[in-house]
Structure 1
Amino acid sequence: MMLERVVIINDEAVASGGAAALALLSARLLYEAGIPVTFLSGDSGADFSLHGDDIEAAGLGSAPLLKLPVHKRIINGAYNIAAHKAIRRYVQENDTPGTIYHVHAWAQILSPSIFSALRPVHDRLIVSAHDFTLVCPNGSYANFNKNTVCELTPLSRQCLASSCDKRRYADKLWRFARSWLRTQLLDLSNSNCTIASIHPMMNSWLERGGIPRERIKTVLNPVKPFAKARIMAENNSDIFFIGRLEFEKGVDIAAEAAHRVGRKLRVIGDGAFRAELLRRYPDVQWEGWRTHDEINKLLQDARFVVMPSRLPEPFGLVAHESLQSGIPVVAFKTAFVANEAHQLGCGIEAQQPDASSLADAFAKLDDDTTVHQMSQRAFELSPRLANTPQSWCNEFIALYRSRLVEQERPEANPFPVRTPAAQPAQPLSGSV
Structure 2
Amino acid sequence: MTPARIVIINDSTNATGGATSLALKSAQLLSDAGHQVTFVTGDEGSRDNLPDTVDVAALGGKSLLDLPMRQRIPKGLYNLQASRFVSRVISELDSPDVVYHLHGWAQTLSPSILAPLRKVQDRLVIHAHDFFHACPNGTYFNFQTESVCHLKPLSSQCLRTNCDKRSASQKAFRTVRMLIKNQILDMGNTRALVAVIHPFMTDWMARAGIDDAQVRVVRNPVQPFRTDRVKAEANSDLFFIGRLEPEKGAELAAQAARSAGRRLRVIGEGSERKRLEAQYPECVWEGWRSHAEIAQLIVHARGLIMPSRLPEPFGLVSLEAIHSGVPLIAFADSFVAREAADLGCAFVASERRPEALAAAVRALDEDHVVERASKVAFTQARDLSNSPEQWRDQLLSLYGELLISSHAAYSRQPVPPKQELGWTD
How high is the TM-score relative to the length of structure 1?
Answer: 0.93
User: Which one-letter code corresponds to 1:117 in the other structure?
Assistant: P
Q: Which residue of 1 aligns with 2:113?
A: 114
Query: Is 1:361 aligned to residue 381 of structure 2?
Result: no
Task: Identify the residue that residue 425 of structure 1 maps to in structure 2.
Answer: none
Measured against aligned partners, the alpha-carbon deviations of 1:1-56 in whole angstroms (never above 9, x if no partner) come to 54111000011112111111111110111111111100000000034422x43211
1:14–1:47 Cα contact (<8 Å) kept: no
> SS in structure 2 opposite 1:241?
strand
What is the CA–CA distance in structure 1 between the aligned matches of 2:118 and 2:229, rounded to whole Å?
A: 48
Query: 1:167-182 residue pairs with structure 2 within 5 A?
Result: 167-182=166-181
Q: Which amino acid aligns with 2:242?
A: G
For 1:395, the equivalent position in structure 2 comes to 394
Structure 1 alignment gaps of length 5 or more:
413-432
Q: Give, in whole Å, the separation in 2 of the partners of 1:116 and 1:379.
A: 45
Q: Secondary structure at the match of 1:287?
A: strand
- TM-score w.r.t. structure 2 length? 0.95
Q: Please give the residue correspondences for 1:8-19 in structure 2 after superposition, counting only pairs within 5 Å.
A: 8-19=8-19
| Distance (whole Å) between structure 2 residues aligned to residue 66 and residue 236 of structure 1 | 42
- 2:24 counterpart residue number: 24
CA distance in 2, matches of 1:276, 1:203: 38
- Please list every run of at least 4 consecutive aligned residues from structure 1 whose deviation after the TM superposition is greater than 4 angstroms: none
SS in structure 2 at match of 1:9: strand
RMSD: 1.2
Aligned to 2:375: 376
Tell me the matched-pair count.
411
Secondary structure at 1:92 match in 2: helix
Aligned to 1:283: 282
Please give the per-residue CA displacement for 1:158-180, whole angstroms capped at 9, x wherever unaligned.
11001101111111111100011
Mapped partners of 1:63, 1:297: distance in 2: 36
* Counterpart residue identity of residue 12, structure 2: E
CA offset digits 1:368-421 (Å, max 9, x no partner): 010001000000011111100000000110110011001224869xxxxxxxxx
Superposition pairs for residues 402-413 of structure 1, below 5 Å? 402-407=401-406, 408-409=409-410
RCO higher in structure (CA 8 A, sep ≥6):
1
> Contact conserved, 1:43 with 1:63, CA < 8 A, in 2?
yes
* Letter matched to residue 183 of structure 2: Q
State the partner residue of 1:102: 101
Q: In 1, are the aligned partners of 2:2 and 2:399 still within 8 Å (CA)?
A: no
- Whether 2:202 is the aligned partner of 1:206: answer no
CA contact (8 A) 1:11 1:43 kept: yes
* Whole-Å separation in 2 of the counterparts to 1:7 and 1:136: 26
Letter in 2 for 1:302: A
For residues 42 and 322 of structure 2, the distance between their equivalents in structure 1, rounded to whole angstroms, comes to 34
Q: Which residue of 2 aligns with 1:5?
A: 5
Percent identity at matched positions? 47
Aligned equivalents of 1:353, 1:186: Cα separation in 2? 36
Q: What is the aligned partner in structure 2 of residue 318 from structure 1?
A: 317
CA distance in structure 2 between the partners assigned to 1:63 and 1:279 by the alignment? 34
The answer (yes or no) to whether the contact 1:13–1:20 under 8 Å persists in 2 is yes
Cross-structure match for 2:190: 191
Instruction: Report the Cα distance in structure 2 between the residues aligned to 1:130 and 1:11, rounded to whole angstroms.
Output: 13
Instruction: Read off the aligned partner of 1:12 and give its amino acid letter.
Output: S
Q: Which amino acid aligns with 2:340?
A: A
Alpha-carbon offset, residue 93 of structure 1: 2.0
Which letter does structure 2 place at the counterpart of 1:116? A
Partner of 2:46: 46
Who is 1:72 aligned against?
71
Cα separation, 1, equivalents of 2:239 and 2:62:
33
Q: Structure 2 unaligned segments of length 5 or more: list them.
A: 415-425
